[in-house]
């Protein structure tokens, strides 16, 4: 499971809204907060399925004459591979 510092600001906000919505809907009997909790949960699951998490991988300064090589690897969400929804051609 990803640590608190590993998550993005958006994910932390959605988690906070989800938790607050569950607490206030179950203990406070507020339907509005129940809908907030459901919406936050759905957005978090959708972001995970889509793999929309951007992460800084490397930050540095290149000096004259230095090069950098960029290659593609499968996206992950909290260390778990994100599965593509695309169909393979038959």
- 74 has a pLDDT exceeding 70: no
- 56 has a pLDDT exceeding 80: no
Residue 66 domain flag: yes
Q: Any idea what DSSP says for residue 79?
A: T
Residue 89 domain flag: no
Residue 67 domain flag: yes
pTM (2 decimals)?
Answer: 0.51
Angle formed by the axes of helices 9-28 and 31-50, nearest 10°: 150
Tell me what pLDDT residue 60 has: 87
Residue 39 has, within 13 A of its CA and on its CB side, a CA count of: 10
Residue 13 domain flag: yes
Residue 56 belongs to domain spanning:
4-81
Residue 16 domain flag: yes
Per-residue pLDDT, averaged over 21-45, amounts to: 90
Residue 30 domain flag: yes
Domain total for the chain? 1
Residue 88 domain flag: no
Per-residue pLDDT, averaged over 46-69, amounts to: 80
| Residue 22 Cα distances to 2, 18, 30, 50, 90, angstroms | 22, 6, 9, 24, 45
Tell me what pLDDT residue 46 has: 86
Mean pLDDT across the chain, nearest whole number?
78
């Amino acid at each position: 499971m990803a640590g608190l510092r590993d998550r993005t600001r958006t994910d932390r906000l959605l988690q906070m809204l989800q938790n607050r919505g569950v607490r206030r809907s179950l203990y406070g009997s507020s339907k509005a907060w129940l809908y907030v909790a459901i919406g936050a949960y759905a957005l978090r699951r959708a972001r995970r399925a889509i793999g929309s998490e951007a992460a800084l991988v490397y930050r540095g300064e290149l000096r004259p004459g230095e090069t950098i090589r960029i290659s593609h690897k499968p996206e992950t969400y909290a260390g778990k591979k994100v599965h593509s929804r695309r169909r393979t051609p038959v």
